[in-house]
Copies of this chain bind each other. A is one copy, B any other.
Amino acid sequence: MRYTSTAIEALIEEFAKLPGIGRKTAQRLSMHILQEKPGEVEKLSRALTDVKEKVISCSICQNVTDRGDDPCSICRGKGRDLSKICVVESPPDVLAFEKTAQYRGLYHVLHGVISPLDGVGPDDIKVKELLARLSLQDGREVSEVIMALSPTVEGETTVLYVSRLLKPLGIEVTKIARGIPVGAELEYIDEATLSRAMEGRSVL
């Protein structure tokens, strides 16, 4: 069953292609757009094409940045600890760490993890760029690379792969702790996490 307007049908179809948006939500969004001011819709439409035209990867950390703003604001940032690089999978992870306001080092975005099942090998993610960066003049300052990938099989594989590449360079490779999240109740934590928490216990 289709709307009497093909333009609305087209918009519903496009919205429904987005992740987590089904046909019902797409319908509601389209009805909202229909009633929205033309200027507002124009802004959304412009923002969409802008992202494809203006966003590039930072030549240093591979995080997203705007054309004409390379290296990105974090790589250029003052007061950053240049001796640490935190390796993450995707741009939102950088944001997550920045929100902690604790970590003040640099980042490196891999844009993926090694996943042979999905046909993603070491050359498909930004590992080469990490190595290149470490061998540059600025990279010599780096003493620690912190692997902050998701605790999945693919994440752990990538951690192992990168650490084997970096250790011969005399750089310390660490990975973030797996353990019980703050605020969680012990009895509801799964066995794997509890085991990791026990292994990673620290002296008081």
Q: Tell me whether B49 and A42 are in contact (CB under 8 A).
A: yes
Q: Tell me whether B42 and A45 are in contact (CB under 8 A).
A: no
Given the interface contacts A20-B28, A28-B19, A90-B31, does A7 sit within 8 Å of B43 by beta carbon?
no
* A-B residue pairs, 8 tightest by C-beta: A11-B47, A14-B44, A7-B54, A4-B72, A45-B48, A5-B64, A14-B47, A45-B45
**Which of A32-40, A124-132, A135-143 is found at the contact surface with chain B?**
A32-40
How far is the CB of A200 from the nearest CB of chain B, in Å? Answer: 27
Residue of B nearest to A56 (CB): B5
| CB-contacts of A1-45 with B (<8 A) | 1-8, 10-11, 13-15, 17-21, 25, 27-34, 38, 40-45
Quick check: is A92 within 8 A (CB to CB) of the other chain?
Answer: yes
Rounded to whole angstroms, the CA-CA distance of A51 and B28 in the bound complex is 14
Q: Tell me whether A51 and B99 are in contact (CB under 8 A).
A: no
For this complex, 15 residue pairs linking A to B, each with C-beta atoms less than 8 Å apart, are: A4-B63, A4-B72, A4-B91, A5-B72, A7-B51, A8-B64, A10-B51, A11-B47, A18-B29, A20-B28, A31-B91, A34-B51, A34-B55, A41-B49, A45-B49
Rounded to whole angstroms, the CA-CA distance of A65 and B3 in the bound complex is 8
Q: Tell me whether B52 and A4 are in contact (CB under 8 A).
A: no
Cβ–Cβ < 8 Å partners of A38 in chain B: 52
Query: Among the listed B5, B43, B52, which residue makes an inter-chain contact with A55, where contact means beta carbons less than 8 Å apart?
Result: B5
Rounded to whole angstroms, the CA-CA distance of A160 and B203 in the bound complex is 75
Quick check: is A156 within 8 A (CB to CB) of the other chain?
Answer: no
- Scan A107-148; emit 1 where CB is below 8 A from any B CB, else 0: 000000000000000000000000000000000000000000
